[in-house]
Amino acid sequence: MVPLNAYLILAAIIFAIGLIGFMTRRSIIMMLLCIELMLNAVNITLISLSHYMQDFMGQVIALLIIANAGAGMATGLALLINAYRLKKTVKIDLFRNLRG
Amino acid sequence: MSIPILFFAYFAIASIVLSLIVVTRKNYIHAVLWTLLLFVHISGIYLFLNAEFFAMIQMIVYAGAILVMLIFVIMLLNVKHEDHLSDLSSLSIPKVFFVFCALGILVLALQASYLNTTGKFSIDFVNTFSDAKLLGQVFYSEANLPLIIMGVVLFVPMIAAIVLAGKRSDE
């Protein structure tokens, strides 16, 4: 039996890699991919806790997160298409005028 | 060292290595394809946790829909990989240290939140029915509010995507 800590630490490491990637990569496509990485790490945490606590509410929330990931990806890609039409680039640094 | 621990070790190490590869790729298509492999391994981890439904959903929704949508947009826009990976050099040791410290605290908090209780859904109970069947029962009885919220969450971005990426009438 694999202990719960192994799953939690695995999820934390994947989340950290996704977070570091999100902070350092400067293209919108890679940032979206890193968001997906982080959401997957959260899903691993929720499902492992759901398994070890023998409660299905964790899986319900994990399914909610998958729906959220799909929704976020669709909206993000629509915004990406619009941004690319405007500036012909996907580098986030060139959209500094969005800062207001 | 038993067989399940060996399998888990393989999937865990492969997931970590693959996520590192994903983050450092220069070519977007390569990054997406490595992510596909990563999601296959994560669905293997879900199988360890008796969540067969989630292993399936991970393959169908993530690998089948979301990544294909991403590849479709990359090919539609014909984006060249203009990343020179110089942005990764902005990564400093204190930043990485801070992130891992914060996550260590998070792991400790999650461990503290773990109650050693035996709920209704024990492994034998899940095995006599199936995972998907029980999840459906939970969704339509006690967790019906998340189901409705999920419907709204999936409905709004559909409109958003059509409005944002659709054809402009003034052009």
What proportion of chain B, given as a percentage, has pLDDT over 90? 32
Predicted local distance difference test score (pLDDT) of residue A37: 93
Cα(A11)–Cα(A14) distance, integer angstroms: 5
**B66 and A36 in contact (C-beta within 8 Å)?**
yes
Measure A11 CA to nearest chain B CA, in Å.
9
Give me the interface pTM, i.e. the ipTM: 0.91
Cβ contact, residue pair A78, B121, below 8 Å: no
pLDDT grade for B86, boundaries at 50, 70 and 90: low
What is the band of B168 on the pLDDT scale with cuts at 50, 70, 90?
Answer: low
Residues found in chain A: 100
Bridge partners, A27 (sequence order): A91
Whole-number pLDDT of residue B170: 61
**pLDDT surpassing 60 at residue B85:** no
Question: In chain B, pLDDT over 70 holds for what percent of residues?
Answer: 91
pLDDT at residue A38 is higher than 90: yes
- Asked if A84 lies within 8 A of B49 by C-beta distance, the reply is no
pLDDT-above-90 percentage for chain A:
45
pLDDT at B15 over 70: yes
Each residue's pLDDT tens digit, B116-131: 777 777 777 777 788 8
Q: What tokens were used for B60?
A: 């169908």
Determine the residue of chain A that is closest to B94 in CA distance.
Answer: A20
What average pLDDT does range B90-117 have in this prediction? 80
The reported pLDDT for the residue numbered B82 is 60
Q: Domain segments of chain B: what residues?
A: 1-82
Q: How many residue pairs bridge chain A and chain B with CB atoms within 8 Å of each other?
A: 213
Which residues from chain B sit within 8 angstroms of residue A7, using beta carbons?
A: 45, 49
Confidence of residue B89 (pLDDT cuts 50, 70, 90): low
pLDDT over 90 at B35, yes or no: yes
Q: Write out chain A residues lying below 8 Å of B46, CB-based.
A: 44, 47
Lowest average pLDDT, out of A45-54, B85-94, B153-162, goes to B85-94
- What SS3 state is found at A91? strand
CA distance B121 to A51: 8
Give the Cα separation of B133 and B138 in Å (integer): 9
| Per-residue confidence (pLDDT) for residue B88, from 0 to 100 | 64
pLDDT of residue B84: 60
**Token output for A65:** 């997160």
Architecture of the domain defined by B1-82: Up-down Bundle (1.20)
- B contacts of A90 (beta carbons < 8 Å): 77, 79, 82
Residue of B62, B46, B60 whose CA lies nearest to B131: B46
Using the predicted structure, report yes or no on whether residue B171 has a pLDDT greater than 60.
no
Closest CA to A44 of A23, A22, A61: A61
Name the token pair of B107: 């792991």
